[in-house]
Amino acid sequence: MSYVIGVDGGTESIRAGVYSSDGTLVASSATPYSTQYPKPGWAEQDPEDWWAGLGAAVKAVVAKSGVPVSEIKGFGMDTTCCSVVALDASGNALRPCLLWMDMRPCLLWMDMRSGAECAPAVLATGDAALRVNSAGQGPVSAEWMIPKALWLKRNEPDTYAAAKYVCEYQDFMNLRLTGRMVASINNASIRWHYCSKRGWPTSLLAALDLSDLMEKWPQEMLELGAVIGGLTRDAAAHLGLPEGLPVAQGGADAFVGILGLGVVNPGEMALLTGSSHLHLGLVDREISGGGMWGSYSDAVLHGLYVVEGGQTSTGSVAAWFRKIVGGDSVSYQELDAEAAAVPPGCEGLLCLDHFQGNRTPFTDPHSRGAFSGLSLGHTRGHMFRAVLEGVSMGTELVLEAMRKAGYQPTSIAVAGGAARSPLWLQLHADVCGVPLHITKGGTDACLLGSAMLAAVGAGLYDSIPGAAAAMVKIERTILPDKNAHAAYGPVIAHYRRLYTSLKPLFHSQAGGSAGAAKGGGGGGVTLGDKLGKPLAAVRARGDALRTAADVRGIVDASILAADFADFGGEAERALEAGAQWCHVDIVDGHFAKILTFGPPVVRSLRRRLPQLFIDVHLAVENPGEYIAQLAAAGASQVLFHVEACRSADAGHPSPTYCIDTVAALAREIRAAGMRAGVVLNPETPAAVIAPLLSPGAVQLDCVDCLAVQPGFGGQPFDKSVLQKVAELREMCPTLDIQVDGGVNLKTAAACVQAGANVLTAGTCIFGAEDCAAAVGALRQALAARWTLQ
């Protein structure tokens, strides 16, 4: 039998395990280290403590295991990420492992000092690399590498300038172990905005005046399980292991942990539970979307991508509830038994699990926990079940955001506290409709994952999936109950509305954006928080840098056909049915002979639905007059008519429309933080706007092709629009192209076939007996060509 050593460099201690090559844990040992908190929100560790702790833990575990060191064939290690160190070059060139002296304590991953200034600055660049941060909507957490490095440069310029390397806990340890400075593709992909397909985030760094960070990052990079080198003589003496023992590349603890749970194929997901939930899934292609992080290419396995979601408070809410209803006098088993006697949906009782904010899909540090629907008939069992259901439904919303982006979870391997409750596991399976796996030794998933990388590095297995097949064993599978899953459908709809309904209250209780600057529990500061604007409104710059693969299918519900007495309720109805945008026709009575409504409707919609993408169609004579008002009201996108931009200059090459005015208006809209687009009446040719769509310099985010005369719903569809759509799609593959007016179940497919990816429909949605079926049919038409947003 061969053996390997796996090490888990956690936040509070470093833990080492001796594993046999079949995945059996022979022995483990941990050494705690200390964290300093010099100021509120700061957290530092001494890298020398890591190194000392590693030596102690490895020596202890080898002694405890009784395994002769000669039978230990490999070494693998994970660490916390992104725990950033700055290293200087000095000392004796003959002893490479002592060359690099750590210059300042590490900025631990949880250190939030870069939250107020640096993380929002990163997001504000709108760089394409931000696609991994909720498709450019953010936040970029203070935990990540670039905000931390930016903080260092701005606040400790001497240290930054003198640093030879700015790198990770992982890189520091690998350098000490092998004498080689090499980055892990895992850390770089998940927290440094590196992408194996697109390279380093050079334009992002340049926009932040941080291009010199490129020279301070390790220049080489290795995939997980690749051999970095052998243990140096000094490292071998420090660990009590043979010199030359192969050291395999590792990565972030949770990401190595998913390997320890046997998650190695597309569709598989790991759910790491504790006080919070972390969702990490594998997908076979690049995706991005609102409300999720990633995808990160090659981040754990070559050729696969990782998607990430998280819930900030989960096990901690169950623990809080137990504490307030009895503490040690009541066990989780008793609470589970009471909750199991309650039917799905808790007889009308809902719990919002956002006790410490929401990480994804809403990324809202101000959101809080709530119980809704309490009656005098509800019991302790109802309330505990509501907590468990609330957390499970929170997971479902995380999965929903991922599904919208194109990731379909096929199974979930669960580790941590939630795995100890059969009821909670069943609830996750029933609510999400996905089977769950429990693996042997799943609580030690990070340690086992590191041991697997050690085994691959040692050559005991030829690949990580090969190691997983031999070393990870599924102990049991929990299948979703079809009836329970169906019963949860309406409960989830109410759960979703609980957050959107309470959000304005939570925000006013939090006192505006004051709390956001602290980078609180919801996962950091959003640019929307920083600018005092809705999230959706600041998407423009990230989207402008997109590729054709980023174009998404979108149903845009036009409220011109809605009940004017209840725009908010109507928009919610359309969203719940599956529409992604809401189209608001502002008509001034002059451009078209009807007066509809103005920016106050946008403001009210924004207040009621903070996440809504509000697509404003200005059918007005003077669009420029409305830009500032719409920005203040919270519009996400403003479309104005080319026909409203007439040229006063008779000698102008385009006598009817002044393209310079169109371009200037689009610029003004974008500068106000919104997406900009134009509307073309049915008779206006596509060629009019061709100068704004030149490859590499697209000046518009969207073109709305009207298939009816402006201002009125319910008119017949003008088929001539299809040719125009096809020409525009040919001209500009990255553009959002809308067809608006007369779009219904009969005309939608032709619009999509011609190249439209946004279907704007009013009568078809709000005039339908079954709104959900109408939106479903439009979505289906879009899905024939596009990934849905």
Ligand X SMILES: O=C(CO)[C@H](O)[C@H](O)COP(=O)(O)O
- The residues that are catalytic are 585, 740
CB distance 167 to 183 below 8 Å: yes
| Nearest CA-CA partner of 344 in 491, 499, 495, 493 | 491
Residue located via tokens 């919303």: 397
Q: How far is the CB of 717 from ligand X (least distance, A)?
A: 8
Neighbours of 326 (CB within 10 A): 13
Contact range with ligand X by CB under 6 A, out of 93-101, 332-340, 399-407, 762-770: 762-770
- How far is Cα 713 from Cα 762, in angstroms, rounded to an integer? 7
Q: Smaller CB distance to ligand X: residue 339 or 560? A: 560
Residue 684, interface with ligand X (CB under 6 A)? Answer: no
Contacts with ligand X, 221-260, as mask; x by CB under 6 A = ----------------------------------------
Residue located via tokens 């999509």: 752
Residue 582, interface with ligand X (CB under 6 A)? Answer: no
Neighbours of 750 (CB within 10 A): 17
> In which region does residue 673 sit, left (phi positive, over 0), alpha (psi from -120 to 50) or beta (all else)?
left
Q: 765: exposed, middle or buried (C-beta count within 10 Å: 0-12, 13-18, 19+)?
A: buried
Contact range with ligand X by CB under 6 A, out of 185-193, 327-335, 450-458, 757-765: 757-765
- How far is Cα 568 from Cα 554, in angstroms, rounded to an integer? 19
Contact range with ligand X by CB under 6 A, out of 404-412, 413-421, 718-726, 754-762: 754-762
Q: Smaller CB distance to ligand X: residue 269 or 587? A: 587
Residue 763, interface with ligand X (CB under 6 A)? Answer: yes
Residues 699-738 that bind ligand X (CB under 6 A): 708, 710-711, 713-715
Among 103, 725, 743, 751, binds ligand X (CB under 6 A): 743
Token pair for residue 393? 């439904």
Q: How far is the CB of 678 from ligand X (least distance, A)?
A: 13
Contact range with ligand X by CB under 6 A, out of 104-112, 335-343, 372-380, 556-564: 556-564
Q: Which amino acid is at 286?
A: E
Grouping H, G, I as helix, E, B as strand and the rest as coil, residue 208 is coil
Q: How far is the CB of 594 from ligand X (least distance, A)?
A: 9
Q: Smaller CB distance to ligand X: residue 102 or 740? A: 740
Among 761, 775, 778, 781, binds ligand X (CB under 6 A): 761
Q: Smaller CB distance to ligand X: residue 137 or 738? A: 738
CB distance 128 to 542 below 8 Å: yes
Q: Which amino acid is at 11?
A: T
- How far is Cα 564 from Cα 607, in angstroms, rounded to an integer? 17
- How far is Cα 281 from Cα 263, in angstroms, rounded to an integer? 8
Q: Smaller CB distance to ligand X: residue 118 or 619? A: 619
CB distance 569 to 306 below 8 Å: no
Q: Smaller CB distance to ligand X: residue 619 or 620? A: 619
- How far is Cα 388 from Cα 48, in angstroms, rounded to an integer? 41
Among 262, 534, 742, 755, binds ligand X (CB under 6 A): 742
Q: How far is the CB of 739 from ligand X (least distance, A)?
A: 10
Residues 278-317 that bind ligand X (CB under 6 A): none
Q: How far is the CB of 763 from ligand X (least distance, A)?
A: 3
Q: How far is the CB of 741 from ligand X (least distance, A)?
A: 4
Q: What number of CA atoms fall less than 13 Å from residue 253's CA on the CB side?
A: 22
Q: How far is the CB of 691 from ligand X (least distance, A)?
A: 25
With CB under 6 A as the rule, give the number of residues binding ligand X.
Answer: 22
Residues 6+ apart with CB under 8 A from 213: 146, 149, 153, 166, 205
- How far is Cα 457 from Cα 62, in angstroms, rounded to an integer? 19
Q: How far is the CB of 622 from ligand X (least distance, A)?
A: 17
Q: Smaller CB distance to ligand X: residue 177 or 679? A: 679
Q: Smaller CB distance to ligand X: residue 307 or 639? A: 639
In this structure, the strands spanning 13-20 and 675-680 are: unpaired
Among 558, 580, 684, 747, binds ligand X (CB under 6 A): 558
Q: How far is the CB of 155 from ligand X (least distance, A)?
A: 50
Residue 747, interface with ligand X (CB under 6 A)? Answer: no
Token pair for residue 652? 């102008």
Q: Smaller CB distance to ligand X: residue 366 or 641? A: 641
Token pair for residue 267? 């569709």
DSSP structure class, residue 565? T
Contact range with ligand X by CB under 6 A, out of 206-214, 293-301, 725-733, 739-747: 739-747
Q: Smaller CB distance to ligand X: residue 153 or 617? A: 617
Rg (CA), the chain: 28
Grouping H, G, I as helix, E, B as strand and the rest as coil, residue 402 is helix
Q: How far is the CB of 658 from ligand X (least distance, A)?
A: 22
Contacts with ligand X, 586-625, as mask; x by CB under 6 A = -------------------------------x-x------
Residue 79, interface with ligand X (CB under 6 A)? Answer: no
The stretches of 545-658 forming alpha helices (DSSP H) are 567-577, 599-608, 627-633
Among 149, 561, 676, 759, binds ligand X (CB under 6 A): 561
Residue located via tokens 């390279």: 199
Token pair for residue 733? 């593959």
Q: Note the residues at the interface with ligand X (CB under 6 A).
A: 558, 560-561, 583, 585, 617, 619, 708, 710-711, 713-715, 740-743, 760-764
